[in-house]
Amino acid sequence: MKKVELLNLKGEKVKDINLNEEIFGITPNNNVLNDAIILSMASLRQGTHKTKNRSEVSGGGRKPWRQKGTGRARQGSIRAVQWVGGGRYGTPIPRDYSIKQNRKERRIALKSALSEKLSENALIVIENLALESSKTKDMIALLETLKVADKKVLLVVDEFDDNTILASRNIKNLVLISAEEINVLDLVSTDVVVATEKAIKNIEEVLK
């Protein structure tokens, strides 16, 4: 079994807790992990970009001049792509950027990301997250106590409470999510993961 220190809000060690080795101790599968990152980033794209082609712009119902005898190049419509105000060629149209990954691969990717964090000593587990107030300075003080205030932190909780949400929302380098929302993109894009003991148990329950 993998072990990690359990800390209190003062940064003091309370005890060692065991982690499921099938979740936090696997050899990361970089190919599947990379696919999951691409999937997550692709899902953020709206795909609503659009420009008009020549059939969608207004005007241009007749030939601007006759085919021959004018000394000018032949033209069929003033809405052709070479004209000012004409349609556009080869430009974006609405599309769905999402890609698919099967459930087994998604689980492997998540386990790989978690195992990588543990192997890099970038996983901190705390007893709970009971802040006394909703002030930002209280959350900053906690991050300083855990010595991660200068890093990009993923804070994983078992459930949200008002104090935690309000205290963390103005800290740029802090991402707050619940254990149910944990995902590969947030794990790989942050430097360190701080999770409550209950959140870790919830993750293990889902992924075991």
Give the pLDDT confidence of 9-30 residue by residue, as tens digits.
999 999 999 999 999 999 999 9
Name the pLDDT band for 110 (thresholds 50, 70, 90).
Answer: very high
Q: What are phi and psi of 146, to 5 degrees?
A: -85, 0
Q: Domain segments of the chain: what residues?
A: 2-45+101-207, 48-96
For residues 123 and 176, what is the distance between their CA atoms, to the nearest angstrom? Answer: 15
Distance, in Å, from the CA atom of 101 to the CA atom of 158, rounded to the nearest integer, reads: 26
Give the phi and the psi of residue 193 in degrees, each rounded to 5. Answer: -110, 125
Looking at 3.30.60.50, 3.30.413.10, 3.30.70.3270, 3.40.1370.10, the CATH number of the domain 2-45+101-207 comes to 3.40.1370.10
Indicate yes or no: pTM above 0.85.
no
Q: How confident is the model at residue 1 (pLDDT cuts 50, 70, 90)?
A: confident
Q: Please tell me the predicted confidence (pLDDT) of residue 202.
A: 95
Identify the pLDDT of residue 115: 96
Cα-atom radius of gyration of the chain, to the nearest Å? 27
